[in-house]
Amino acid sequence: MRACLKAPDALPVKVYVADLSLAYNVGVGAFCKSSIAAYQNAGHNKDSCDRFLLYNRAGGKVVAGLTKRRQAERKLCLEGAR
């Protein structure tokens, strides 16, 4: 995950932890290709937080547990976003 972020150590801690949680769940490759990583690399941390909600599907179907997890990650991300 760190390899695909331009400045992982410059991210606020809560944003970084939210990223780590997502990357662990969807895989590093998917995280690195995500709009979340792209927004953060562009310096748009708050915008990246809203993108967490897009990753709530498994097998093409919305999963309630994933939706709840992504909402929690988004909340954490927004608490740290500048």
Q: What is the pTM assigned to this prediction?
A: 0.93
Domain ranges of the chain: 12-80
Residues 6+ apart with CB under 8 A from 41: 4, 5, 6
CATH classification for the domain delimited by 12-80, as one of 1.10.530.40, 3.60.90.10, 2.60.120.460, 3.40.50.300: 1.10.530.40
pLDDT tens, 48-63?
A: 999 999 999 999 999 9
- Computed over every residue of the chain, the mean pLDDT equals 96
Q: How confident is the model at residue 82 (pLDDT cuts 50, 70, 90)?
A: confident
pLDDT tens, 10-42?
A: 999 999 999 999 999 999 999 999 999 999 999
> Using CA atoms, how far apart are residues 65 and 41, in angstroms rounded to an integer?
28
